[in-house]
Structure 1
Amino acid sequence: MSFQRVPGLVSVVVTVYNKLPYLTECLTSLLDQTYASWELILVDDASTDGSYEHAVNWLNVNEPALREGKGINLLRLPRNTGYAGAITAGMYLAKGEFIAIQDADDLSHPERLARQVRHLNHHPQIELLGTNYEVFEDGQPDRRMPVYWLKYGEQIGKVYAEGGHCICHGTVMFRGTVFDRIGGHTRRIEGAEDYEFIAKVIRSGARNVDNLREVLYYYRKHQQQRSRDYFGKSKKEHGHDA
């Protein structure tokens, strides 16, 4: 019997590795979504800072609101697998017609899921959709700055064909059938698993990818970001983090 995805459901995958200071804001931004049909898949990658216990407590406190048509899946991995392993594990649990990514230290606009689903429903040729976003320094959420490295429409495929990057991974929503067809993230390029996944979607024959021009995501800059270990001086060029 083939796997049947739930129509209209968005599976939001959040991976956590030692993100305790940011979890409440991240999860609250999801709880505040106007789109009703979504499930939370939170994968703790063997955190050592109490992130898992904090997530359990938060889910218990907010369970009544989350239970109103929303599924809760909390997975604690027995050992640290790295970003690619954690996010792919979460995608395997996703039941939704759509899969959305949310980084544990970032925030989503309340209309994010609704507007991405609406766009995907109105444009069946698009299989993966990012959004515009703004950046803020940790502790200064009201001082957000725009970004200028994103591309739109046909420009996106050209950028990735040349080895470039122009979709913010944390903003991505894609059709569950994409994961069913090509699988999730790999460890082939350590530190750039997000770039490789999007490039793989494009190469797989996805009919289209795009970015919404609306700002629907807020990206937090802080000293513990994973990509600082890999990109260093080229952060602005890559324009993304996890």
Structure 2
Amino acid sequence: MSFQRIPGLVSIVITVYNKLPYLSECLTSLLDQTYESWELILIDDASTDGSYEYVMNWLNNNEPLLREGKGIYTLRLPRNTGYAGAITTGMYLAKGEYIAIQDADDLSHPARLAIQVRYLNHHPHIDLIGTNYEVFEDGLPNRRMPVYWLKYGEQIGKVYEKGGHCICHGTVMFRGAVFDRIGGHTRRIEGAEDYEFIAKVIKPGARNVENLREVLYYYRKHPKQRSRNYFGKPQKEKNDDA
């Protein structure tokens, strides 16, 4: 029996590894989404800072939301697998027609899911859609700065053909059928799993990915970003996995 995805459902996949200080704001930004048909799949990659315990407490405090029929699922991995292992695990659990990525230390605009779903519904040839975003320093959410490295339209494919990167991974939503066809992230390029996944989605000679110009995502700069392990300082302009 083949796997059947639920029409209209967005599966939001979050991976967590020691992100305790940022989880409340991140999860609240998802509760505030205007799009109603979503499930949340949170994979804790063997955190040691109490992140998983916080999430379970957060779920208990939001019990009315669960009674309204939202699917909120958590899985604590028995050992740390790394970003590729954790996020691909979450994608395997996703039931939605669409899969959305959310980094545990970032925020989504309340209309993010609604706008991305509407775009995909109106553009059946597009498999993956990213969005514009703004950057803020931790503790200064009202002082957001624009970014200028994203590309649009036919320029996207050209950038990836040359080994470049121009879609912010945390902003993407893609069709679940894409994961069913090509699978998830791999460990072949440690620290650039996000780049490799998007490059794998792009079909040569076809415009099947796009960025929205609307700012629908807010990226937090802070000392514990994963990207600092590979680049020494936040490199959202070049590698958006944090």
User: Structure 1 length as normaliser, TM-score?
Assistant: 0.97
Does structure 2 conserve the Cα–Cα contact (< 8 Å) formed by 1:131 and 1:217? yes
**Secondary structure at 2:105 match in 1:** coil
Shift of 1:205: 8.0
Q: Aligned pair 1:117/2:110, yes or no? A: no
* CA-atom RMSD in angstroms: 1.4
**Secondary structure at 2:92 match in 1:** helix
Distance 1:91 1:67 in 2: 24
Does structure 1 conserve the Cα–Cα contact (< 8 Å) formed by 2:96 and 2:176? yes
Identify the residue that residue 230 of structure 1 maps to in structure 2: 230
Does structure 2 conserve the Cα–Cα contact (< 8 Å) formed by 1:127 and 1:207? no
Moved more, 37-46 or 227-236: 227-236
Identify the residue that residue 215 of structure 2 maps to in structure 1: 215
Matched residue count? 242
**Secondary structure at 1:188 match in 2:** coil
Distance 2:127 2:226 in 1: 27
Distance 2:237 2:22 in 1: 25
Give 1:188-207 correspondences, 5 Å limit: 188-203=188-203
Q: Which amino acid counterpart does residue 160 of structure 1 have in structure 2? A: Y
**Secondary structure at 2:211 match in 1:** strand
Identify the residue that residue 46 of structure 1 maps to in structure 2: 46
Shift of 1:237: 4.5
Shift of 1:63: 2.3
Identify the residue that residue 168 of structure 1 maps to in structure 2: 168
Shift of 1:216: 0.2
**Secondary structure at 1:238 match in 2:** coil
Shift of 1:241: 3.2
Shift of 1:34: 0.3
Q: Which amino acid counterpart does residue 48 of structure 1 have in structure 2? A: T
Q: Aligned pair 1:106/2:103, yes or no? A: no
Moved more, 81-90 or 229-238: 229-238
Does structure 2 conserve the Cα–Cα contact (< 8 Å) formed by 1:99 and 1:175? yes
Distance 2:136 2:234 in 1: 18
Shift of 1:64: 1.2
Identify the residue that residue 96 of structure 1 maps to in structure 2: 96
Does structure 2 conserve the Cα–Cα contact (< 8 Å) formed by 1:128 and 1:173? yes
Shift of 1:206: 6.9
Identify the residue that residue 144 of structure 1 maps to in structure 2: 144
Shift of 1:65: 1.7
**Secondary structure at 2:131 match in 1:** strand
4+ runs of 1 displaced by more than 3 Å? 203-207
- Deviation string, structure 1 residues 34-74 (Cα, Å, up to 9, x no partner): 00000000000000000000000001111212442320110
Does structure 2 conserve the Cα–Cα contact (< 8 Å) formed by 1:182 and 1:204? no
Q: Which amino acid counterpart does residue 2 of structure 2 have in structure 1? A: S
Shift of 1:234: 8.1
Q: Which amino acid counterpart does residue 129 of structure 1 have in structure 2? A: I
**Secondary structure at 2:55 match in 1:** helix
Give 1:15-30 correspondences, 5 Å limit: 15-30=15-30
Does structure 1 conserve the Cα–Cα contact (< 8 Å) formed by 2:10 and 2:37? yes
Q: Which amino acid counterpart does residue 82 of structure 2 have in structure 1? A: G
When residues 90 and 204 of structure 1 are mapped into structure 2, their CA distance, relative to the original with a 3 A threshold, is: farther
Shift of 1:233: 6.1
Identify the residue that residue 10 of structure 1 maps to in structure 2: 10
Distance 1:125 1:69 in 2: 31
Q: Which amino acid counterpart does residue 229 of structure 1 have in structure 2? A: N
Does structure 2 conserve the Cα–Cα contact (< 8 Å) formed by 1:45 and 1:81? yes
Distance 1:234 1:52 in 2: 25
Structure 1: gaps of 5 or more residues: none
When residues 236 and 99 of structure 1 are mapped into structure 2, their CA distance, relative to the original with a 3 A threshold, is: closer
Distance 1:79 1:236 in 2: 27
